[in-house]
Amino acid sequence: MKNIFYLMIVSFFINACNDQKIVEQQTVNQEEESKKLMKVSRQWANSASPGEFLSYWNNESLFMEPGKSIVKGQANIAKVLEVITAIPGFGITWEPQEAFVSASGDLGYVISKILVTYNDENNEQIKLFEKGVEIWKRQADGSWKNVVDIWNVDPSLTSIHK
């Protein structure tokens, strides 16, 4: 009887290890998913309204503006964006350069080049070329949400295109 008990325990652990291997083998086509994530970032850059723009974030999202405190959550990010977009001549556009999606397909990141414009106190247009990283998390419904958005000025850039 004792041997049967030990045999059952060993069998249980072998099955548990095999189940883990099956889970580890469940992967996505990373190249295809990376292309899809690039497309999502481009769609985000071309948002037609503030509401659409904000829809790419959620309450987990972190907005990490250079020289400022971290802002968490869609509602708080909306407040910051309201202030930023009220700056005379403000504009922002970006072009994703590369994307990567994890083998499990639940996380990804996009590296982008960004152009921010605004008017200075003399109403002269200022252009800032920046580099950024967007970290994206796949949601239960299959959509992507930007969960970390961080960037800074890159004086070596002269264009957002490759």
Tokens of 11: 């069998």
The CATH-assigned architecture of domain 27-153 is Roll (3.10)
Q: How far is CA 31 from CA 2, 54, 100, in A?
A: 52, 27, 8
Q: How confident is the model at residue 23 (pLDDT cuts 50, 70, 90)?
A: very low
Distances (CA, A) of 78 to 22, 83, 147: 42, 9, 14
Beta strands in 36-106 (DSSP E): 62-64, 71-72, 91-101
Mean pLDDT, rounded, for 119-133: 97
pLDDT of residue 14: 66
Q: What is the mean pLDDT of residues 135-154?
A: 96
> In the chain, what percentage of residues exceed pLDDT 90?
81
Express each pLDDT in 83-98 by its tens digit. 999 999 999 999 999 9
Could you give the percent of the chain with pLDDT greater than 70?
84
